[in-house]
Amino acid sequence: MSGALRSRVIGCGSYLPQRVVSNDELAKTVDTSDEWIIERTGIRQRHIAADEQKTSDLATEAAKAALAHAGVDVSEVGLIVVATATPDDTFPAVATQVQRKLGITHGAAFDVQAVCSGFIYALTVADAMVRAGQAKVALVIGAETFSRILDWEDRTTCVLFGDGAGAVVLRAEEASNIHTDHGVLASRLHSDGRYRDMLYVDGGPSSTRTTGFLRMKGREVFRHAVENLASVVGEVLDEAGFEPKDIDWVVPHQANRRILESTAKKLGLSMDRVVMTVDRHANTSAASVPLALDAAVKDGRIKSGDLLMLEAMGGGFTWGGALVRWG
């Protein structure tokens, strides 16, 4: 290939652990209720990984499903990027264990850590590497077992999260025209470490030598999320030369129904253009965007040629958006 390259997104897949935990089940162990959780968040249930399931197991299942959907053999994969904040172990990277489980011994595999924005970060990094000629086919995976870092006695956080994994396959193609090409058309990443204390885990290898538990100032996170997401979506559209009305589907990070509604309103987009899975999956951090994408592709809502805006915000703070022409 000689000219500029574009990363076409040629398939997607996902995996959810079998065990489903309802709000009513949580209300047996913490002082909460199905009504409170649904009203404040839109969440009805979440999937929780089995004790023996690690993040790399969830990621590998999602990767296999995405490769099958794309019709790509594992031997073609030259790059694996996994977005996760809940790796199996402090090291090695989950991506190397996905590589091992898929039976791949060539190419590169590494993790990206941007918490709930992780998938947008991983997609942006993988897209840049594909366009730079580092790999022709890349697997981009978001996978989390957030159930392992939740304080199950803290009702303000434990009701909000779930486990799962989602993946996409990228393939290098000649770029032609940003208005007609399929694939990743533009993306933007941001971070601001001053907001560390709003959303963090109170442990880690270099601070406490423990894993720690997730802590969050929910109200502040909410306010920043709506501002930051609406602004990054605008930036990505400007960069690519599109307008909000051109978007067929917003595929947002699934943290809270009210964040999705407020962001859509700020952008002047109707909610029937927003893919919502938070009711079934809760917040699965880096897995939530590819899980939502896979749900809407597999149920036929997202079709080849549709213009998608993927966006997310997470701890750090980190946030970002990516514009993708599907299929």
Catalytic residues: 116, 253, 283
d(CA 145, CA 135) in angstroms, rounded, equals 28
Q: Provide the minimum distance between the beta carbon of 89 and ligand COA in the complex, in angstroms, as a whole number.
A: 24
Nearer to ligand COA, 11 or 314 (CB): 314
Nearer to ligand COA, 129 or 275 (CB): 275
Binding track over 245-264 against ligand COA, x by CB under 6 A: ----------xx--x-----
First-residue to last-residue Cα distance in the chain? 21
Q: Provide the minimum distance between the beta carbon of 225 and ligand COA in the complex, in angstroms, as a whole number.
A: 6
Nearer to ligand COA, 15 or 317 (CB): 317
Angle between helices 94-102 and 55-70 (to 10 degrees): 50
d(CA 118, CA 107) in angstroms, rounded, equals 21
Q: Provide the minimum distance between the beta carbon of 192 and ligand COA in the complex, in angstroms, as a whole number.
A: 14
Which residues inside 119-158 make contact with ligand COA, applying CB under 6 A? 155-156
d(CA 284, CA 10) in angstroms, rounded, equals 23
Nearer to ligand COA, 203 or 218 (CB): 218
d(CA 115, CA 85) in angstroms, rounded, equals 5
Q: Cite the DSSP H helix spans in 210-303.
A: 218-240, 257-267, 278-281, 288-298
Nearer to ligand COA, 61 or 311 (CB): 311
Binding track over 201-230 against ligand COA, x by CB under 6 A: ---------------x-xx-xx--x-----
**Residue whose token pair is 């999320």:** 225
Six-digit token pair at 109?
């595999």
Should residue 244 be labelled a site residue for ligand COA when binding is judged by CB under 6 A?
Answer: no
Which residues inside 17-46 make contact with ligand COA, applying CB under 6 A? 32, 36-37, 40-41
Instruction: Name, in order, each residue with C-beta under 8 angstroms of 298's C-beta and a sequence gap of 6 or more.
Output: none
d(CA 161, CA 145) in angstroms, rounded, equals 9
* Total number of residues that touch ligand COA (CB under 6 A): 21
d(CA 24, CA 166) in angstroms, rounded, equals 27
Q: Provide the minimum distance between the beta carbon of 66 and ligand COA in the complex, in angstroms, as a whole number.
A: 23
Q: In the bound complex, which residue of the shown chain has the CB atom lying closest to ligand COA?
A: 218
Q: Which of 143, 159, 185, 278 binds ligand COA (CB under 6 A)?
A: 159
Q: Which of 14, 96, 283, 318 binds ligand COA (CB under 6 A)?
A: 283
Which residues inside 91-120 make contact with ligand COA, applying CB under 6 A? 116
d(CA 99, CA 106) in angstroms, rounded, equals 9
Six-digit token pair at 30?
């913490």
**Residue whose token pair is 């590169």:** 108
